[in-house]
Chain A
Amino acid sequence: MVMQHKPAPERLEDETLVGRVQTGDAGAFESLVLRYQDRVYNVCYRFVGHAEDARDLTQEAFLKAYRSIHRFQRESGFYTWLFRIAMNAALTHRKKARLRLAGSLDANEADTIPAPPDRSPPTDADASVNHQRVANALAKLEADHRAVIVLRDIEGFDYEQIANILEIQRGTVKSRIHRARAAFREVWDRKELSNSTAHTGPRP
């Protein structure tokens, strides 16, 4: 059964806005950007682990959506369609980045991922450290695994929508999420172990 991730009225509103963009209404496009820029940015950020790259990818995704909005098929929903564009851009970005890093920094890549910008007062230092470690563990995953985790656990898409975004079968989503979480656990447990033996940082 297909679960509707978004409430129907919001989806209807998306379609109205898309229709207006298709007839040349720039204000409608602005509304769509305002509505989704945070979510697209957050997913890109969690996927690439870098604020500047996430910003570029978000911009790229919206521009691609804008340029090809006349090809938008309403059955998939604008939100899902937009994320498909964003994830395609992000996956391509990762491939290029890996090529650049091949043989040099790749092995340590995850450790170089910077901390997210500090947007809240450090009232809970432990939580902040923990978030950084979760982000680093995510960064250690293969791109395919990280993609499904970000889409499912961070953005909250259901399997059907993830299948739609990544253009894979729903069964593949199911098994990939299983493998991705197992991989995350492995990385996390390894980190836990090294943290406890090195006595660096608090345990979560």
Chain B
Amino acid sequence: MTEDRDRFTEQLNAYLDGELDDQQRQAVEDRLTHDTDARAELNNLRERVRLIKNLPRESAPSDLLGNILTAAQTTDENVHRRTKPRSTLHTLRSITLVAAALALCVTVGLWSASLTERPNRRVAVSSIEPDIRNRAIETFESIQSEVAPSRPLAKSQPTQTAITAMDEVASNEPLSQSPQLAMAESESPPNSLAGAVFAAANEPNPATHVPTDASPQSAMLTIVSPDRNDADRCIRLARDFDTRRTAGYSGNLRTRYEFSDSSTARRAIENADSPNETHITISADHLEDLIRQLDRNPTRSVTLVANTSPANTQHEKLARRSRLHAKKLERSEARRNGRSVLHDADRKPNRAFSDHRALGLQTATPTTAAGIAPTDTPIQLTIRLIVDPESAAAPAMRPAPHESKSPE
């Protein structure tokens, strides 16, 4: 009987909601005419539903629209890139990586400023068009003047350089060049997607850092641009992003430190707007830890870029393990799908990638070591270790926080 009652109550609910067909509705109404319990039940139901329906409707907060539009703007490329031909897909994807890169760059810059014992200024610009370079530098300077008015960037005095090319083509040799050279000569390669700008200026004397200091002492900007229009877009994007980030973290060095560690880096990667790929720059000291975390929680393709020393055997081991890991994942995927999987290196006409197999185990060579891991789930772990000549001359790097373990 209770089962029948239960079924009938279900019908009553549907009746109340106008979800019965004619025949079912008639059956319910017939029963209601002679079953007082059923009528009481219907009234009861009506009353409960009325209570819920009468709840006041809450309106969206007044600033929600603006927040949504701002956030959407920063991921605009996602929409555009899908409506553009394949040839520009990588270009646009790389633009979307800027946000993630900036988040890390800003704080890693801060972190390294306080960690190292020497003045640390970095400027590196790579572009096929002098115009774009100049504009990028101007933008950087304007941002710099906003965050550190007393310390304008002296672009003629860089002491350190790193160029991170954020697409598959733009990375060429100038990694170890002086910034001046990079700025002057990086108009090659002819097929390069226009520009990568990587710039940072840090507080010259880290000892003067006071944790309660309310004004940010440094900023770092990364811009990737495929052409002039996109360069403009990138610059606007970077400016917005930089402003927000700087505002969000100013006056709280502890927060910055947290943000520059590997866990926060991982979170930044996971929360990055780019759906498939993230490109970040991180301190070499945190690199291994971050890789380990990413291995535990693979989410997306990641390109890690870190300055390291040619003599750092730890990173050589890291590159080796990454390659082994890649092969293992590749084999398991091939087994599962009954087909073989190409390394990205086989597809991309990128000098750095195509060289990585030869150079991967030799971090002493001046350019790069990389491992690529195609996988069952989205992760494609790519490690690129970029030699920083200044680090090579500097005292030994701090040991990695944990004893090395294979990411496998």
Are A and B subunits of one complex?
Answer: yes
Which A residues form the contact surface with B (CB < 8 A)? 1, 3, 21-24, 26, 29-30, 33-34, 37-38, 40-42, 45-46, 51, 54-55, 58-59, 62-63, 66-67, 69-70, 116-117, 119-120, 127, 130-131, 134-135, 138, 149, 152-154, 158-159, 174-175, 177-178, 181-182, 184-185, 188, 204
CB-based contact A58/B64 at 8 Å: yes
For the A-B complex, the count of residue pairs with Cβ-Cβ distances under 8 Å equals 129
Write out the residue numbers on chain B whose beta carbons fall within 8 Å of the beta carbon of A67: 75, 78-79, 273, 275
Q: Nearest B residue to A179 by beta-carbon distance?
A: B10
CB-based contact B52/A174 at 8 Å: no
Write out the residue numbers on chain A whose beta carbons fall within 8 Å of the beta carbon of B61: 41, 51, 55
CB-based contact B21/A33 at 8 Å: no
The answer to whether residues A174 and B13 also contact, given A41-B58, A120-B56 and a CB cut-off of 8 A, is: yes
CB-based contact B51/A204 at 8 Å: yes
Write out the residue numbers on chain B whose beta carbons fall within 8 Å of the beta carbon of A184: 48, 52
CA distance A42 to B57 in the complex (A): 6
Task: Judge if B17 is at the interface, Cβ distance under 8 Å.
Answer: yes
CB distance from B278 to the nearest CB of A (A): 15
CB distance from B154 to the nearest CB of A (A): 38
CB distance from B77 to the nearest CB of A (A): 10
Instruction: Identify which of A29, A152, A188 contacts B69 (C-beta below 8 A).
Output: A29
CB distance from B28 to the nearest CB of A (A): 13
CB distance from A31 to the nearest CB of B (A): 11
Q: Is the interface of B mostly helix, strand, loop or mixed?
A: helix
CA distance A177 to B61 in the complex (A): 30
294-341 of chain B: CB within 8 A of chain A: none
CB distance from B312 to the nearest CB of A (A): 39
Task: Judge if B76 is at the interface, Cβ distance under 8 Å.
Answer: yes
CB-based contact B83/A70 at 8 Å: yes
Write out the residue numbers on chain A whose beta carbons fall within 8 Å of the beta carbon of B82: 70
Selected A-B contacts with CB under 8 Å, 12 pairs: A26-B76, A33-B65, A38-B59, A41-B58, A41-B61, A41-B64, A66-B75, A67-B275, A120-B56, A152-B17, A177-B17, A181-B45
219-278 of chain B: CB within 8 A of chain A: 273, 275
Which B residues form the contact surface with A (CB < 8 A)? 9-10, 13-14, 17-19, 21, 44-45, 48-49, 51-61, 64-65, 67-69, 71-73, 75-76, 78-80, 82-83, 273, 275
Instruction: Identify which of B49, B51, B79 contacts A21 (C-beta below 8 A).
Output: B79
CB distance from B67 to the nearest CB of A (A): 6
Q: Nearest B residue to A130 by beta-carbon distance?
A: B51
Write out the residue numbers on chain A whose beta carbons fall within 8 Å of the beta carbon of B58: 38, 41-42, 45-46, 51, 54, 116-117, 119
CB distance from B44 to the nearest CB of A (A): 7
CB-based contact B52/A154 at 8 Å: yes
Given contacts A63-B68, A188-B51, 16 further A-B contacts (CB under 8 A): A30-B65, A33-B65, A34-B65, A37-B68, A38-B57, A40-B60, A41-B60, A46-B58, A67-B275, A131-B54, A131-B56, A134-B52, A154-B52, A178-B10, A181-B48, A184-B52
